Amino acid sequence: MNHQVEEDSFYHSLGEEASDVDCLLVEPRSDQVSVSGVWCYEEDNRAKCIKTENAPYNLGVPDSNRNMEGVDVTIRNAFDVLPHEVGVNNLLTTNVSHSDDYLLDIGFDHGAFIGYVSNEGLHTRNTQFPMKGSFDVQNSLTENILGIEYQNYLLSNCIFGTSTNSSEPKGLDRFEDFSNSFVDQENNNQDILLPQFSQNEMEVTPFCKDGPTSTSSVEDHGGVGELTHKRSRKPTKRYIDESSMLSLNNSKKRREASCGSRVKLSGVRRVKSQIEVKPKEKMLPAAVSFDKAIQVPFSSHVPTECQKSNSPAKVSKNALCISRKSFERVQIEKHIENYSSEPEDDSETMTRSVTGGNQRKHHRVWTVSEVKKLLDGVAHFGVGKWTHIKKSLFSSSAHRTPVDLKDKWRNLLKASHALKGSKTEDDQKRSQSWRPLPKSVLCRVRELASIYPYRQESSPKISKSKFQNNSSPGRVKSPV
């Protein structure tokens, strides 16, 4: 078959399939993987390699736009380079997979760049090249086409950085696909110079025009010395920065998505570790992050299979169940309290309290005795000394943390203010209905709040004498 005919059809197909070369310079996107490819000319065809060395410059350009030399003037001007080194390394173009961190989405469809030839038949598709050995591409066409930055980008991150040992399993499937696509065309297109891949050895061997057999090896190739020269180049600072920014943006988006999907229900919570941004760590897939970021209901009231369900609908359903059962538990606890004025905190009043893992802590209704203890602690140590109060008065209550004490004190303040604000007895009655606290307790709260500074700078020993020593009030939380 005439080589020139093949070349023309090749160009023609590219003109149909390939996109504008400007797309090569767009910013990468994370959701696609772009590829490029390597085509090697056999040494016997070195002359033809030189003859067609300008092929990549005609990508996406109709034949009419090419000049006598077959070089597209437009593209050449665009890159302002000359393909002087084409063919030296038998490297026509590159087509290599990228890691996710360095995705180069050039906005192509399948068979982008040089990768697709219809009819007569090259099909490179979006294929990863699990290459054995590295290519010396310093003089390759890549530099001429895309410039130093893009070359560094490709070199350092994907193409030739793939070492001999790194046989990524991820690329095997595509490799097989790729290889088959070539084999299919092998018999019909022996004039076309194709790379041959040995899947077992993960190596790229040139496809010989005259003897296109799978037995051709790298050693048969004249330019093997150049081809097998390894290159390892570190990513440029620019791409490190860009990739880090990309990761941060992705993580930020994931976090926002997670927060957006977060179901704000009392019975569910999100997993803290999944929310924290850890740029240095390998980011989890978005799906995993999404699943773990959803608040899951605490388990004691929920069947096990329901706990593992992460869909928002199921969470809501569980939350309803939780609310109802929490209400029941509250009723039980109130019932117990009627018989025991001091339901000791350590003995679990709920039979179904299982706290562990990432489950939300059980809601424990504050009993009047607990409130009184808290008030005593506040009177003794002062407001804000929650750890002291906890250690001295709530040491036996494992479920009352200093934060709980603080929160309860805050709620008591609100309750006292509400009681103070409600003038009529009807209001007080209504407030009492949902604030089952004795009025005396609330009055004491108000009193303490007006007396003790909220944050004592000095030693809490100062307020050892209750209700009097307010000589150094410091910052007093005004009771309003």
Provide the binding-site residues for DNA, judged by CB under 7 A: 264, 269-270, 272, 275-276, 360-364, 383-388, 399-400, 402-404, 406-407, 410, 454-455
* Minimum gap (Å) between residue 364 Cβ and DNA: 4
Residue 100: what residue type?
A: D
Query: Which lies closer to DNA via its Cβ, residue 65 or residue 459?
Result: 459
Q: Output the CA torsion sign for 363, 369, 372, 378.
A: negative
* Minimum gap (Å) between residue 384 Cβ and DNA: 3
402-421 helix and 439-451 helix, angle to the nearest 10 degrees:
110
Query: Which lies closer to DNA via its Cβ, residue 128 or residue 251?
Result: 251
Query: Which lies closer to DNA via its Cβ, residue 96 or residue 378?
Result: 378
* Minimum gap (Å) between residue 417 Cβ and DNA: 14
* Minimum gap (Å) between residue 385 Cβ and DNA: 5
Query: Which lies closer to DNA via its Cβ, residue 301 or residue 364?
Result: 364
Query: Which lies closer to DNA via its Cβ, residue 98 or residue 362?
Result: 362
* Minimum gap (Å) between residue 455 Cβ and DNA: 5
Q: Which of 214, 232, 87 is nearest to 158 (CA)?
A: 232
Query: Which lies closer to DNA via its Cβ, residue 222 or residue 460?
Result: 460
Query: Which lies closer to DNA via its Cβ, residue 290 or residue 454?
Result: 454
Structural tokens at position 419: 């009681």
Query: Which lies closer to DNA via its Cβ, residue 15 or residue 402?
Result: 402
Residues 6+ apart with CB under 8 A from 287: none
CA distances from 374 to 43, 233, 405, 440, 443 (A): 89, 65, 7, 14, 14
Q: Which residues pair with 392 in a beta bridge?
A: none
* Minimum gap (Å) between residue 298 Cβ and DNA: 8
Annotate 313-351 with DSSP letters as a single string.
HHHHHHHHHHHHHHHHHHHHHHHHHHH-SS--SSS-S-T
3-state secondary structure of 196: strand
Q: Which residues pair with 123 in a beta bridge?
A: 116
* Minimum gap (Å) between residue 412 Cβ and DNA: 12
Structural tokens at position 246: 């990309």
Residues 6+ apart with CB under 8 A from 380: 389, 392, 460, 463, 464, 466
Structural tokens at position 59: 């990508």
Query: Which lies closer to DNA via its Cβ, residue 161 or residue 384?
Result: 384
* Minimum gap (Å) between residue 386 Cβ and DNA: 4
* Minimum gap (Å) between residue 9 Cβ and DNA: 59
**How many whole angstroms separate alpha carbon 246 and alpha carbon 105?**
13
CA distances from 28 to 21, 95, 115, 218, 255 (A): 15, 16, 19, 33, 21
Query: Which lies closer to DNA via its Cβ, residue 98 or residue 373?
Result: 373
* Minimum gap (Å) between residue 340 Cβ and DNA: 19
Q: How many Cα atoms within 13 Å fall on the side-chain side of residue 56?
A: 33
Give, in degrees to the nearest 5, the angle at Cα 234 between 233 and 237: 135
* Minimum gap (Å) between residue 99 Cβ and DNA: 30
Count the neighbouring beta carbons within 10 Å of the beta carbon of residue 173: 11
* Minimum gap (Å) between residue 446 Cβ and DNA: 16
Residues 6+ apart with CB under 8 A from 25: 106, 146, 150
Residue 145 and residue 94 in contact, taking contact as beta carbons nearer than 8 Å: no
**How many whole angstroms separate alpha carbon 178 and alpha carbon 122?**
10
Query: Which lies closer to DNA via its Cβ, residue 192 or residue 268?
Result: 268
Query: Which lies closer to DNA via its Cβ, residue 234 or residue 352?
Result: 352
**How many whole angstroms separate alpha carbon 260 and alpha carbon 49?**
56
